[in-house]
Structure formats: C-alpha cells, structure tokens
Structure 1
Amino acid sequence: MRKFEQLITQAPGFIAIVDTQGYVSYLNGFARNVVGLKPDESIPPGVEFFMAPDERGTFHDDLMPLIRSGEQQQFKLRILSTKAEDPVRALFTMYPLHNGEG
C-alpha cells in the first residue's frame, strides 16, 4: 500500500479526490503546486475555487451531473494556476471511487 500511496502523491499529473457534492478532500503534490497550495495548507472546500471565474457558473449545471453520474468521464476545464497569468485549459479524466455502498 505504501508504494501505491507514493505513486499517487508523487505522480507528475493533477490528481484530486472530489466527492459527489464537489468537495475536494485530496490534492497530490503536483496539483498543489499548480494551484499554489503549500503541503501544509488546507484545501479549499469546493472545486469551484480552482476554476476560472467565468466557468464557475457552469459548474453546477454541467460538471455536477457528470460527477454524480458515477461513471468515468472526460471534460475540459480551465483552472487557475500560479504557473501562468491566465487560467490553464486542462483535460480531466474522472475515475469514480466506490465505497462498500456503491
């Protein structure tokens, strides 16, 4: 299990755990670096925090149904990054994690 944890933590890609309500509970090191969070900083509660301001309005209409579907999905999203002046367009692939209840 330790090797798997290291794989996720140190992966050279944006990895986040987001629940069906849009609350972010985990960001790996790469993701924290992209959005400008230090390792010891708390993660803002909502995924909207990371989105470009002009895309936040579509979050509940377009993205939440995808998240709640419980199916693998791909979508494009512009995220705020400390590495660029303007929001960065990224392609996200969502893989649902299921607990013992589904």
Structure 2
Amino acid sequence: MAEYIKLFWKDAPEGEPPIILYEVDTENERLALRSIDIFLDGHTRNIDDLYDGAIEITPIPTVEEFNSHVWGEEFHACLMEKAEFERIWESHIYDGGINVIQEEIL
C-alpha cells in the first residue's frame, strides 16, 4: 500500500526544490517508491529511484514526524491524493503556482 506525501521546505537553498512529493511504500519500511521535486519556477523532476547511488537508505518520515519538526523547523508536510501525484508525474507540471507554494509553506 502506498501513501502520498507533499513536503514543503521553507527557505530551501537556491537550486533545491521547495516542494517534494513522495510515494511511500507503507508495507516496506516506508521506503520511497518514487518522488517528484518541484522547483520555484514550476518545473519538476521525476525520480523513479530515490536510492540510486545512495550510501544509506533511509525511510521517509510520516507526516506527523515532519510536522513535529524532528527533521527541522523548515519542513511541513501533508498527505495528498494518489491522483494528484500521478497527474504531476505524467504531465511534469505543478499547477499550484509560486504564490501557492509560498502560502502553503507559511
């Protein structure tokens, strides 16, 4: 079974995505099946193997863990629908707009 998480990274460093979408395998140690980086200019990058070349494979925290600021004050997360994830994955378009990104992060 999969869970879909939208992670907002407030004040992400230049060149880093302020929004990251995760498809999480809840039956396999919460490992990411796929992820999508969303950049300030609206372009996206699909990642079909988040762990390719990784030295250490780490599970994706739950929404509650992200929002309790265990991973830092700059992170906020919410659940999202599979259909939204799939639409962005297929279209390579995040239609939330920059203002929406900033408002949702705050």
TM range (shorter): 0.3 to 0.5
> Highest Rg: 1 or 2?
1
Which one has the bigger helix percentage? 1
Higher relative CO (CA 8 A, sep ≥ 6), structure 1 or 2? 2
> What TM-score do the two structures reach when normalised by structure 1?
0.34
Which one has the bigger strand percentage? 2
